[in-house]
């Protein structure tokens, strides 16, 4: 479609803009644009405005660094959440994934990345100092480390662990093991090995 001559430069421009989005090719972009053309003007106005608002009005929560509409995010401001537990995650997507499980009712702390010397990301580029200060200042009893099981994730976990260790709080990490619904024979040996080492009492497995 690269040499395609559009009869309208406005259409062409809109197709170009949509194709800049990740995973959206020119054919899909054209389909989306033709769809918008058929919708009422007010719908296009609302859509257009939601994009502008998204980029211009979203801020980061000053407590947990998650995205937010105001200084303190909905989760931090919710009085029914357990404020003695903080779950440390890499990014805002991880917060969404955990929220999605509906199994966690504590607070979060978004690092904004993980320690990765290869990418030039050190502890000072992340919200680690603010985590330590938060644990020191607030009545936090447990910090759950929920980072990726990669070398970078392990490095970050260990760095945070060493910083938090003197503060006399419980430090945990999320369980690793064979995924629910997965057959044993297809699990990789490291995961399977971990799931045997960290086996739990059978009666606890129904909780």
Q: What does the binding site for a second copy look like in residue numbers (CB under 8 A)?
A: 1, 3-11, 13-14, 16-17, 20-24, 28, 30-37, 39, 41, 43-58, 61, 66-69, 73-75, 92-93, 95-96, 99-100, 102
User: Exposed/middle/buried for 131, CB within 10 Å: 0-12, 13-18, 19+?
Assistant: buried
Residue 120 Rama label (left phi>0; alpha psi -120 to 50; beta): left
Cα 196–chain centre separation: 28
Shortest distance in whole angstroms from residue 174 CB to a second copy: 19
Sign of CA dihedral 45, 51, 57, 61: positive
Nearer Cβ to a second copy, position 100 or 205?
A: 100
Nearer Cβ to a second copy, position 101 or 168?
A: 101
Shortest distance in whole angstroms from residue 113 CB to a second copy: 12
Nearer Cβ to a second copy, position 23 or 166?
A: 23
Nearer Cβ to a second copy, position 13 or 150?
A: 13
Shortest distance in whole angstroms from residue 55 CB to a second copy: 3
Shortest distance in whole angstroms from residue 142 CB to a second copy: 21
In sequence order, which ranges of the chain are alpha helices (DSSP H)? Answer: 9-19, 26-38, 41-57, 74-77, 92-101, 128-137, 151-164, 189-197
Nearest CA-CA partner of 88 in 106, 109, 107: 109
Nearer Cβ to a second copy, position 121 or 169?
A: 121
Shortest distance in whole angstroms from residue 45 CB to a second copy: 7
- Could you tell me whether strands 82-89 and 106-110 are parallel, antiparallel, or unpaired per DSSP bridges? parallel
Nearer Cβ to a second copy, position 71 or 200?
A: 71
User: Integer distance in angstroms from the first to the last C-alpha of the chain?
Assistant: 55
Shortest distance in whole angstroms from residue 42 CB to a second copy: 9
């Amino acid at each position: 479609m690269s040499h395609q001559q559009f009869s309208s430069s406005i259409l062409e421009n809109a197709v170009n803009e949509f194709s800049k989005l990740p995973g959206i090719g020119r054919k899909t972009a054209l389909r989306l644009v033709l769809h918008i053309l058929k919708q009422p003007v007010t719908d296009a106005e609302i859509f257009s405005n939601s994009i502008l608002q998204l980029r211009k009005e979203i801020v980061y929560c000053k407590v947990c660094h998650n995205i937010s509409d105001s200084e303190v995010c909905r989760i931090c401001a919710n009085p029914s959440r357990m404020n003695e537990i903080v779950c440390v995650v890499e990014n805002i997507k991880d917060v969404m994934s955990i929220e999605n499980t509906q199994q966690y009712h504590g607070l979060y702390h978004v690092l904004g990345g993980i320690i990765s010397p290869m990418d030039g990301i050190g502890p000072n580029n992340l919200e680690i100092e603010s985590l330590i200060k938060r644990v020191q200042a607030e009545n936090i009893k447990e910090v759950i480390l929920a980072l990726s099981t990669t070398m970078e994730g392990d490095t970050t976990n260990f760095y945070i662990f060493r910083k938090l260790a003197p503060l006399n709080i419980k430090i945990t990490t999320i369980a690793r093991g064979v995924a629910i619904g997965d057959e044993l024979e297809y699990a990789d040996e490291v995961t399977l090995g971990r799931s045997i080492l960290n086996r739990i009492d059978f009666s606890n497995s129904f909780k």
